[in-house]
Amino acid sequence: MPRKGTENEGDRGNPVPDCIFCKIVAGTIPSRKFYEDDAVIGFLDINPAAPGHTLVVPKQHFKLIVDGTEEQVQKAFIGVRNVAGRLRSKLGCNAFNILVNQGREAGQAIEHFHVHIIPRVEGDGMRVNPPDRKMKDPEMDQILSKLR
């Protein structure tokens, strides 16, 4: 029996028919792929935020980090490490932002888990730091008590 899930979520591991990244993994849509291992591929983002902006995409479809198995998530991040190494050795990138948008509200446009690796250089003008906001102690403690 396949695992229950929404249409967008897909059954873990099975290609989702309308998913662009499943098609790129399968090779039915072309990509500028330069990395592949047993679990992930790495290819250039079609609209790069910076030269070398790469997406690391698991071969098996899942949407959110919490939908993946520990093994799928471990292997995804081993791929991230190896791709970042390639960007450093081949392009000389020494600074990166590694971003994972999770859910529509967080800006996830493609519902197949993927990790952005965005090379950074001094003065590139990009801002990806979250804002510093103040929160009162009782509110912080209430959140903490829910999490423990």
Catalytic sites, residue numbers = 114
Report the C-alpha gap between 66 and 88 in whole angstroms. 29
The residues of the shown chain that bind ligand 5GP, judged by CB under 6 A, are 20, 31, 43-47, 55, 101, 107-110
**DSSP structure class, residue 49:** S
Answer yes or no whether residue 61 interacts with Zn ion by CB under 5 A: yes
Q: For the CA atoms of 79, 60, 118, 52, what is the dihedral angle to 10 degrees?
A: 80
Over the window 12 to 41, marking each residue x when it contacts Zn ion by CB under 5 A and - when it does not, the resulting string is ----x--x-xx-------------------
Query: How far apart, in whole angstroms, are the C-alpha atoms of residue 53 and residue 91?
Result: 11
Binding mask 77-116 for Zn ion (x = CB under 5 A): -----------------------------------x----
